[in-house]
Amino acid sequence: MPIVFKKDTNQFFLHTDRSTYVIELLDGRIPLHAYWGKTLPDMPPLVTWKSSFPSMFLAWDTGLEDVDFITTGCLPLEYPVFGSGDMRDPAFHAQFADGSRVMRLEYVGHTVTDGKPKLCGLPAIYANADEAQTLEMHLKDELSGLSVYLLYTVLPAYDVITRSVRVVNGGTEDVRLLQVASASVDFYDSQFDMLNLPGMWARERQIERRPLMHGVQRTDSKRGASSHYQNPFFALMPSDTTETAGEAFGFNLIYSGDFLASAELDAHEMVRATLGINPYDFSWLLTPGEDFQSPEAVMVYSDAGLGEMSRKFHRLYRDHLLRGKYQHGNRPVLINNWEGTYWDFTEEKLLEIAKGGKEMGCELLVLDDGWFDNDRLGELGPIGDWDIVDKKKLPNGLKGLGDKLNAMDMKFGLWFEPEVFSMNSELYKKHPDWCIHVEGRPRTKWRHTLNLDYSRPEVCEHVIKTISDVLNSAPISYVKWDYNRNISEAGSKGLSPERQQELRHRYMLGLYYVMETLTSRFPDVLFEGCSGGGGRFDCGILHYMPQIWTSDDTDPEERIYIQHGTSMAYPAIAMSAHVSASPNHQTFRATPFKLRGDVAMAGQFGYELDPAKMTDDEITAAKEQVAFYKKYREVVQLGDLYRLVSPFEEPFAAWEYIAEDKNTVLLYTFVINSKPYVAPKRVKLQGLDEAAVYVDEATGKEYSGAFLMQVGVARERTADHLSEIAVFRKK
């Protein structure tokens, strides 16, 4: 059984295939964290928190009412509460009607069930009864009647534990929640590095790794979106952990809004990791009888380095986070008109792009920004009126265009930005108070838009109706859901004064409701998430939309870094990647067509250019790229990724994908910058069968698995931007 409660020792053992997590009830009352790491056999001596504090606490007595502050100051708490003698960052902070913030959460019971319950209104990992087991531990503050339920789901095959928290006001007076973290883990060690994925627009998810210093190291978002700037993922690992060896503890929050991820190295040389909704500008009124559900945190343990940690995240997300018809691939190769025309297109031009794309082998044309209203020739044009098609550009409407595309055997995809509107839209004229704002105060416009207030049910229903009407009006089989601003001047006309600080989380609940409704109403439509590129690349969005536009930066050199960093937590099947024109529109860098194709073929492949501007050689190369991708896309989409060489360590990158059946191996190599007189790079593969023979498809040359892994293959690095995708077949 994955979850075992040992009554005699008051301990919960949560076992995955290769890891164990232990919670212990101090005096049967206070949950302590005893262990998280490699599997521990079920034999004496059992690990307990005291194993780590042999002398200091053996004399512990049960006088919990009057605890010594030194003792509580470093007790490994499973869910630390604000206001106690523990002076580190809390996971939970609430205020009672009398203004006090002090409580004692004590264990009152638990249940263990097979499978995994759904989280009300929130995206989450899902699993069947035979795939997971869930522990729900009930803690209660006796004096106020406040209950806190800690939920742990164990997915043994993935070495994953998911955690979330439900709070129920069982008292007779209001409670104000000020922080409800989803997970908190007290580690008994201090020698950790923290790995984060900071970035920027067009430079998302770069890898940053630093040793923990005393104090709190935090990354967060206060933007109303998980953001370009940080990602709700982080990993902790001993400083000698590498890509292929050592322990790694990965944390990821299934949430698209403001998050806080922190690691506190304290004076006792212990580390507390915390992950959850950002307490910044958050407070939630819980009236008697009401409950609050936190988002879910995913925790992955690896004892084989960061590469194995990432593969576990990837497998979990492919199998238990993504949903719908396109969960396992089967997605069209597309051509998008954005970088080809920007706002300046006609039906004729779009059909020409589609024809060019079709010749290359594309299966779908995406019509990007600018198809609606009557004069959106740039960012100043109105936005928000999805029911008004620009008849100057599209005289036959969306249906006319869609029918013509379908007649040439191309599918039709459409761009929306449903969370914003501009002041020159009809929608704003009708509902000026539907924006997020505080009356009488200035508002920050981004790209000339204001944020629609998704905390209001009527706004959500309006969006659902207008988008549904458009999707019903034409043969649309793909939607690109863009969001190009963040939340500022947070205020809502729909919320009472005492609930104003619920806006940011209520916005996310509204967004998830809209996404859930639309994606289940249109199960055949492939939805792609986007937020000015990868400004909301997170598991919340991926639960509804199985792929996300990874970045607005389509320069392949930049993309190598972005895709490498993104792969720390997210699988290739989720990363949209397109070939665009050279010189690149974001970096102005010129790159070979081959490099652009090779980098994009490591993700969800497509094009984003005007085929009329391509040379004949490029068209021929594009045909070969599409044919290659169609032949091998399942290896990329469903295979295991091995990051062989990191561009963050040298001006070269190598990625390897091994098919699910282990018979096909794709080796991607990229020279970023060349160096004079440098020897070829020997790229050593991983994860192969040592004794098997692998045939290089291009040359027919045969290699043993051991040779490929120990000697490797040589790649010239005498010129910038050399790239190659080699295919090895197991004989």
In the complex, the residues that contact ligand DGJ under the rule CB under 6 A are 338, 368-369, 415, 482, 484, 530, 532-533, 549, 552
Around 424, how many Cα atoms within 13 Å sit in the side-chain half-sphere?
10
Six-digit token string for 598? 């090779």
Identify the active-site residue in 141, 482, 610, 640.
482
Q: Which residue lies nearer to ligand DGJ by CB, 262 or 484?
A: 484
| Cβ at position 621, least distance to ligand DGJ in Å | 23
Determine how β-strand 652-658 pairs with β-strand 640-645.
antiparallel
| Cβ at position 353, least distance to ligand DGJ in Å | 15
Q: Which residue of the chain is nearest ligand DGJ when measured via CB? A: 369
| Cβ at position 232, least distance to ligand DGJ in Å | 20
Q: Which residue lies nearer to ligand DGJ by CB, 250 or 532?
A: 532
Angstrom CA distances, 227 to 202, 256, 276, stand at 12, 8, 15
Q: Which residue lies nearer to ligand DGJ by CB, 123 or 340?
A: 340
Q: Is 552 a catalytic residue?
A: yes
Q: Which residue lies nearer to ligand DGJ by CB, 297 or 420?
A: 420
Residues 6+ apart with CB under 8 A from 561: 203, 206, 647, 648
| Cβ at position 532, least distance to ligand DGJ in Å | 5
Identify the active-site residue in 453, 552, 610, 640.
552
Q: Which residue lies nearer to ligand DGJ by CB, 350 or 672?
A: 350
Distance between CA atoms of 373 and 328, rounded to whole angstroms?
A: 36
| Cβ at position 349, least distance to ligand DGJ in Å | 17
DSSP readout, 466-492? HHHHHHHHTT--EEEE-------S---
| Cβ at position 369, least distance to ligand DGJ in Å | 4
Q: Determine the residue type at 454.
A: Y
Six-digit token string for 445? 């416009």
CB atoms within 10 A of CB 604: 30
**H-type alpha helices, 601-675:** 616-638
Task: Note whether 333 and 605 are within 8 A (CB).
Answer: yes
Residues 6+ apart with CB under 8 A from 504: 224, 257, 258, 281, 282, 487, 490
Q: Is 42 a catalytic residue?
A: no
Angstrom CA distances, 537 to 153, 374, 562, 643, stand at 24, 32, 12, 20
| Cβ at position 328, least distance to ligand DGJ in Å | 25
CA angle (90 as vertex; 86, 94 as ends), nearest 5:
110
Q: Is the dihedral of CA 625, 626, 630, 631 positive or negative?
A: negative
Q: Which residue lies nearer to ligand DGJ by CB, 86 or 482?
A: 482
Q: Which residue lies nearer to ligand DGJ by CB, 219 or 484?
A: 484
DSSP readout, 49-76? HHHHSTTTTTT--S-GGG--HHHHHH--
Catalytic positions are 482, 552
